Structure 1
Amino acid sequence: MKVSADHEKLVMLGQRRFNGFTPYQVVTFLNQILKERGVIFGLRQLGDDNELTIYDISDNAKEP
């Protein structure tokens, strides 16, 4: 079975190469790219774990 993606339909929003990155670098990059689309990411460290939260900051965001 051959699996392929039609990349012509994908719109690149941003790209960054990481070498020895931390989770905070990834979240900062995502926030820079996606803030204008109404999405913000939060990250907090809980002991040895990291908790990632995604927020909808668009004008039409609804409370869960």
Structure 2
Amino acid sequence: MRYQFLSVDLQNDFTAEGGKHYKIRPSINFDKEVLFPFLKEKGIKISEIISDYRQPRLGDRDESCIPGT
């Protein structure tokens, strides 16, 4: 069996309206409205990867990517 992986980070700070760093990006709508429904229709599994969130670093201008956001 052959496997292929596609990694997409949909952290709400970047991809949800109202997120701290949200900007309209064509890829977000493509992922949500085209890619994910297609994968679901074809029975291709989608899994969430839990990132290893780190403490803010020197030079960070704000707190972003907080777990659960």
Q: Normalization by structure 2: what TM-score?
A: 0.20
| Bigger share in strand | 1
Q: Normalization by structure 1: what TM-score?
A: 0.20
Q: Which has the higher contact order (CA 8 A, sep 6+)?
A: 2
